[in-house]
């Protein structure tokens, strides 16, 4: 009986290995177990330490973000929510008894009532057309009433379309009836025959109709039968039309020189207009020329108006046609743009406002007195003229402006800060108080391979608990904030307790603040300046900063070079808001202190976009672990190769022995 053996090879990562078919030994399984045991000695622990360090850095950075958001909202010098902005504590409401005057109150206002009269509004100087500059809707040929059966046309009044049925139209009167039937029982527009014998449509007096246009209905010939082939279809201009086209629609045609140009001056600036310019382009050219005035076309009234940019009697508006030499004829040419379209000039006026009996004249409709800004919107005076005597009598109905302290605004300011402070310390306390569970260390790569994604997520959620347990830096931060609230402020006449703001008596609340609404409201009403000083008083011997989280500080950067003794003096003199600012800066500032360090939390964990992002304790530790892991992985790879080499030698030896035994067996059998 003969026996045989074989050698099975496999190649992994370029390395050829002989597995245990010759010996019957599970070489891969043995080596895998040996490598796993080797990883357990050091590599897995290093990977867990790395993961813990990365999670801890994320936890710190989350706290840094919360602190930064808190500072940006409540410790800026400009924000409406800031307890650091002194004017936020001196808020006033101003109300007017009539919309003729609107009012607003600054922090420098005082509570009280004022009587206000407006006898004249400030207006801009204008140059405008006397009425609509365009012709009425009119035909280009005499009306033909002979073949209007089944015909119609559309008339549009101020944007509303009406279809006029021409079946019964045989003359001018029946056409008027057809239009009246279409637009309603009341005559809104009148159709007549002009001096040329063509139809013309105009608005009826007192009808309120402004813009009129006509148009054809599909392929109906009714419009052309009545108005000819080239009628004026609208009594309003299109700003997208060229001046040469618009000219034909004007009551007086525009004139251009042989080059198709004309010139006008506005406040000393000369503008050249081309007949190929659209009206919209002319309007834009005036705006771009910065002449101190604005040109506009009113499609409702059909008027063109040039209006000075500023109100007041002193802001005049000068506009004129220019005379130039025609380049072709050599004769003088004078534009008629202004004389045709801007014929009515109105001077600007000053506002006349009387407050508490004192008459004031202003070039604008706003005036500020003692922190209250009054804006005139309409007259409070009424003028009537006796028809028999011609005597004009002016009566005044003055309005009342009332200024009151905005206690609700100040209450909300403080209440919102307290709520945000409570939320902040609750978040940090929760991190400090969490107990880490040693039964849930970070997972190794091998462990993750045996778990589902949901299982990994659930495990890691438990593994992240307690990362900042009893953290001394966060404990110190909370302690400093609590102390800052209750240490007396030098020179301040009140305390938080006087305002009804106290620490919760429930120990489990861990220092959160409570507000007695009645006490705080009474304090705000009684002495808002005392509250303002308690929060916003600045240090006198050591300058107080004027920004947040390391942003621009101007000349107030002393915080970053101050010694500990002076810092204590500064602390005693500062109000609560500035104390909070300093404390947060010492923890999250991206500026460097005299110690050479940035904020304490940034030194530990860093923050994106700052030098601390790569220069901090945890990043250094993470990089150390990464290097050690890389070295350990190299060592384990070498160990794995060594183990395979040993078993390869064994396999080769056994295979050789099997071959020799097989040969001997063959010889024995043949003999």
Q: How far is CA 654 from the centre of its chain?
A: 79
Neighbour-count burial of 216, counting CB atoms closer than 10 A to its CB (0-12 exposed, 13-18 middle, 19+ buried): middle
pLDDT of 2 > 50? The answer is: no
Least confident of 135-139, 163-167, 663-667: 663-667
Residue 294: CB atoms within 10 A of its CB come to: 14
Q: What is the mean pLDDT of residues 62-81?
A: 93
Q: Which residue has the higher pLDDT, 561 or 635?
A: 635
Binning pLDDT at 50, 70 and 90, where does residue 418 land? very high
pLDDT of 595 > 80? The answer is: no
pLDDT in the model for residue 191 = 96
> Which residue do the tokens 């033909």 mark?
144
Binning pLDDT at 50, 70 and 90, where does residue 86 land? very high
Binning pLDDT at 50, 70 and 90, where does residue 540 land? confident
CB 216 within 8 A of CB 223: yes
DSSP letter (8 states) at residue 178: H
Residue 565: CB atoms within 10 A of its CB come to: 8
Binning pLDDT at 50, 70 and 90, where does residue 548 land? very low
Question: How many percent of the chain have pLDDT more than 90?
Answer: 66
CB 74 within 8 A of CB 417: yes
Distance CA 330, CA 324 (A): 9
Q: What is the mean pLDDT of residues 293-305?
A: 94
Q: What is the mean pLDDT of residues 401-421?
A: 96
pLDDT of 405 > 50? The answer is: yes
- Indicate the helix (H) or strand (E) that contains 8: none
Tokens found for residue 599? 């904020």
Distance CA 88, CA 532 (A): 8
CB 166 within 8 A of CB 152: yes
The CA R_g of the chain, rounded to the nearest whole Å, is: 45
Binning pLDDT at 50, 70 and 90, where does residue 39 land? low
pLDDT in the model for residue 578 = 93
Q: What is the mean pLDDT of residues 510-525?
A: 95
Binning pLDDT at 50, 70 and 90, where does residue 113 land? very high
CB 115 within 8 A of CB 398: yes
Tokens found for residue 306? 């040039």
> Which residue do the tokens 């407006």 mark?
118
Q: Which residue has the higher pLDDT, 561 or 608?
A: 608
pLDDT in the model for residue 555 = 34
Binning pLDDT at 50, 70 and 90, where does residue 633 land? confident
Binning pLDDT at 50, 70 and 90, where does residue 22 land? low
DSSP-assigned beta bridge partners for residue 650: none
Distance CA 488, CA 503 (A): 16
Distance CA 649, CA 447 (A): 32
Residue 59: CB atoms within 10 A of its CB come to: 19
Binning pLDDT at 50, 70 and 90, where does residue 385 land? confident
DSSP for 131-191, written as a single string = S--BPPEE-SS----TT-TT-EEEEEETTEEEEEE-TT--SHHHHHHHHHHHH-SS--EEE
Least confident of 17-26, 168-177, 295-304, 655-664: 17-26
Least confident of 186-200, 491-505, 583-597: 583-597
Q: What is the mean pLDDT of residues 119-147?
A: 94
Binning pLDDT at 50, 70 and 90, where does residue 654 land? confident
H runs (alpha helix) in 149-298: 172-183, 222-227, 243-249, 279-288
Binning pLDDT at 50, 70 and 90, where does residue 275 land? very high
User: Distances from the Cα of 549 to the Cαs of 71, 74, 251, 417, 560, in angstroms?
Assistant: 7, 12, 68, 18, 12
H runs (alpha helix) in 22-159: 27-41, 43-74
CB 295 within 8 A of CB 283: yes
Binning pLDDT at 50, 70 and 90, where does residue 40 land? low
CB 106 within 8 A of CB 373: yes
- SS3 category, 395: strand
pLDDT tens digits, residue range 466-488? Answer: 999 999 999 999 999 999 999 99
Tokens found for residue 273? 């207009």
Binning pLDDT at 50, 70 and 90, where does residue 164 land? very high
pLDDT in the model for residue 186 = 77
User: Distances from the Cα of 284 to the Cαs of 132, 215, 280, 297, in angstroms?
Assistant: 21, 30, 6, 12
Least confident of 288-297, 309-318, 605-614, 619-628: 605-614
Q: Which residue has the higher pLDDT, 631 or 368?
A: 368
pLDDT in the model for residue 5 = 42
Q: In 3D, which of 632, 602, 631 has the Cα closest to residue 618?
A: 602
DSSP letter (8 states) at residue 304: E
pLDDT of 432 > 50? The answer is: yes
Pairing of the two strands 501-503 and 199-203 = unpaired
Distance CA 358, CA 337 (A): 45
User: Distances from the Cα of 334 to the Cαs of 9, 250, 322, in angstroms?
Assistant: 105, 18, 6
């Amino acid at each position: 009986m003969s026996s045989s053996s074989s050698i099975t090879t496999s190649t992994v990562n370029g390395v050829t290995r002989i597995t245990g078919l010759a010996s019957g030994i599970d070489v891969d399984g043995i080596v895998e177990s040996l490598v796993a045991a080797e990883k357990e000695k050091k590599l897995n622990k290093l990977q867990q330490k790395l993961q813990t360090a990365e999670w801890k850095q994320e936890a710190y950075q989350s706290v840094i973000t919360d602190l930064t958001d808190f500072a940006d909202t409540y410790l800026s010098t400009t924000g409406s929510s800031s307890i650091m902005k002194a004017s936020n504590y001196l808020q006033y409401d101003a109300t007017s008894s009539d919309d003729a005057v609107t009012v607003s109150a600054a922090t420098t206002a005082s509570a009280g009532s004022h009587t206000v009269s407006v006898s004249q509004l400030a207006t801009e100087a204008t140059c405008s057309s006397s009425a609509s500059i365009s012709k009425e809707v009119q035909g280009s040929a005499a009306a033909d009433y002979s073949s209007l059966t089944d015909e119609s046309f559309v008339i549009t009044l101020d944007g509303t379309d009406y279809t006029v049925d021409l079946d019964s139209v045989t003359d001018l009167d029946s056409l008027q009836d057809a239009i009246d039937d279409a637009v309603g029982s009341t005559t809104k527009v009148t159709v007549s025959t002009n001096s040329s014998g063509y139809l013309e449509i105009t608005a009826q007096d007192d009808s309120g109709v402004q813009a009129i246009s006509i148009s054809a209905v599909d392929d109906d010939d009714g419009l052309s039968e009545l108005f000819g082939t080239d009628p004026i279809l609208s009594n309003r201009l299109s700003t997208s039309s060229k001046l040469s086209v618009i000219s034909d629609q004007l009551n007086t045609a525009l004139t251009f020189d042989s080059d198709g140009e004309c010139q006008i001056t506005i406040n000393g600036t000369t503008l050249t207009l081309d007949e190929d310019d659209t009206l919209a382009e002319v309007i834009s050219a005036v705006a771009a020329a910065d002449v101190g005035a604005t040109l506009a076309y009113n499609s409702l009234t059909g008027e063109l108006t040039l209006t000075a940019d500023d109100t007041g009697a002193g802001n005049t508006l000068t506009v004129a046609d220019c005379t130039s030499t025609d380049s072709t004829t050599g004769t003088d040419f004078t534009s008629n743009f202004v004389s045709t379209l801007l014929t009515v000039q109105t001077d600007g006026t000053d506002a006349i406002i009387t407050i508490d009996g004192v008459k004031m004249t202003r070039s604008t409709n706003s005036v500020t007195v003692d922190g209250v800004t009054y804006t005139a919107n309409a007259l409070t005076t009424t003028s009537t003229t006796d028809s028999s005597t011609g005597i004009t009598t002016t009566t005044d109905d003055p309005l009342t402006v009332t200024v009151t302290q905005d206690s609700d605004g100040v209450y909300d300011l403080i209440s919102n800060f307290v709520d945000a402070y409570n939320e902040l310390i609750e978040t940090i306390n929760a991190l400090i108080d969490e107990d880490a569970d040693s039964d849930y260390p970070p997972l190794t790569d091998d462990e993750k391979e045996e778990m589902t994604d949901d299982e990994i997520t659930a495990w890691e959620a438990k593994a992240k608990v307690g990362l900042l347990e009893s953290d001394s830096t966060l404990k110190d931060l909370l302690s400093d904030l609590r102390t800052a609230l209750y240490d007396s402020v030098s020179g301040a006449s009140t305390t938080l307790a006087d305002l009804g703001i106290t620490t919760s008596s429930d120990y489990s609340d861990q220092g959160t603040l409570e507000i007695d609404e009645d006490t705080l409201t009474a304090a705000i009403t009684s002495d808002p300046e005392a509250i303002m000083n308690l929060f916003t008083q600045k240090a006198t011997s050591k300058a107080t900063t004027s920004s947040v989280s390391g942003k621009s500080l101007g000349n107030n950067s002393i915080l970053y070079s101050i010694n500990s003794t002076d810092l204590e003096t500064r602390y005693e003199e500062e109000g609560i808001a500035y104390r909070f600012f300093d404390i947060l800066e010492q923890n999250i500032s991206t500026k460097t202190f005299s110690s050479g360090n940035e904020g304490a939390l940034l030194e530990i964990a860093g923050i994106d976009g700052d030098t601390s992002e790569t220069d901090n304790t945890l990043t250094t530790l993470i990089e150390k672990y990464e290097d050690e892991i890389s070295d350990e992985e190299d060592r384990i790879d070498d160990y794995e190769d060594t183990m395979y080499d040993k078993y390869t030698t064994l396999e080769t030896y056994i295979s050789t022995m099997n071959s020799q035994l097989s040969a001997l067996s063959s010889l024995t059998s043949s003999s």
